[in-house]
Structures are given as structure tokens and as C-alpha cells.
Amino acid sequence: MERLLDVLREQLRLTGTKEGCGEGECGACTVLIDGRIVNSCLVPVAQVEGCEIKTIEGIAISETQLHAVQQAFIECGGAQCGICTPGMVIAAVDLLEKNPNPTEAEIRNGLAGNLCRCTGYMKIFESVVRACEG
Ligand code: FES
Ligand code: FES
């Protein structure tokens, strides 16, 4: 089975999407397929024919303007090694699109599928709070 993750990274050279566990556990490979959060390491590329796929490369507002979540990660130091960061950002963008004013619990829940092995959770959490404040 050819995985969507490999096609993105190796054929399309969209290397912003990362591989962590390769088993659907860490969220590093998160992308949006037709607006739904998906772990691309679990998706056979054949299944997504005709779907719209958005990766971290497509999250910025424009070439000169980052998404508020990306800007907040920079301002709050939300990235350490950066492996989890694209997935975290996409999860946060998805959360805020569905719920622009999440509670702290809703933020934690929205990021629950994404693991950070650098254990930078506090700064990641603060980044999402900052993004909500706009
Ligand atoms: S690499 Fe896909 S969930 Fe970890
Ligand atoms: S910043 Fe290193 S895994 Fe999260």
C-alpha cells in the first residue's frame, strides 16, 4: 500500500508533513482531507483520488501572511524540534475553524491526538490560546 504520507513527502516534496510513529498514534503526519483531520500515514493514496488535501504548506493566509496559529506558535515558542509542529498547527487550525472561542479543556481535547516528544505542551497550549485572542 502506498501511503498518502509518502506521496506527499517523496513524490510531491511537501516535506512539511512529518512522520513520527508511522502507526496512527502521534499526529505528526496530520493533513486535512476534504476538511477532515486525518493521519496521512494510515491513508492509502488510492483512497484520496478526487479529494482536496491540505497540508501545512497550504495553511498560511498568503505568501506574506501566516495563519494566526502559525504566528502564535512563533511568538509563544510553540515549536522545539518541530516534528510535531505541522500536525499541531493543523489540529489547532481545524479546532478554531469549528470553534473560534474554545475553552482550555476544548483546546486540550482538540490537540489530544497530537503527541510532542519534546514535551513542549505548555507552550503549544499557550500558542493556541494566543491564536484565539487574535
Ligand atoms: S506518523 Fe502518522 S500518526 Fe504518527
Ligand atoms: S517540538 Fe519536538 S516533538 Fe514537539
Q: How far apart are CA 111 and CA 95, in angstroms?
A: 8
**Average pLDDT value over all residues in the chain:** 97
User: Which CATH class, in words, describes the domain spanning 4-58?
Assistant: alpha beta
pLDDT tens-place string over residues 78-96: 999 999 999 999 999 999 9
Q: Does residue 73 contact residue 85 with C-beta atoms inside 8 Å?
A: yes
The pLDDT of 2-28, averaged and rounded, is 98
Q: Where in the chain is the domain with CATH 3.10.20.30?
A: 4-58
pTM comes to: 0.97
Q: How far apart are CA 63 and CA 50, in angstroms?
A: 26
Please give the distance, rounded to the nearest whole angstrom, from the Cα atom of residue 87 to the centre of ligand 1: 9
| Side chain identity at residue 46, one-letter code | A
CB 38 within 8 A of CB 5: no
| Ligand nearest to the Cα of 121, by number | 2
Q: Which residues contact 115 (CB under 8 A, 6 or more apart)?
A: 20, 25, 26, 27, 28, 84
Considering only CA atoms, give the Rg of the chain.
14
CATH 1.10.150.120 residue spans of the chain: 68-133
Upper half-sphere CA count for residue 103 (Cβ side, 13 Å): 3
Q: How far is the CA of 53 from the centre of ligand 1 (A)?
A: 16
- Percent pLDDT > 90 in the chain is 96
**Residue 55 C-alpha to ligand 2 middle, in angstroms?**
18
Q: How confident is the model at residue 1 (pLDDT cuts 50, 70, 90)?
A: confident
Place 2 in a pLDDT band, splitting at 50, 70 and 90.
very high
Instruction: Determine the atom of ligand 1 nearest the C-alpha atom of 26.
Output: 4
> The CATH number of 68-133 is which of 1.10.10.10, 3.10.20.740, 3.30.1490.190, 1.10.150.120?
1.10.150.120
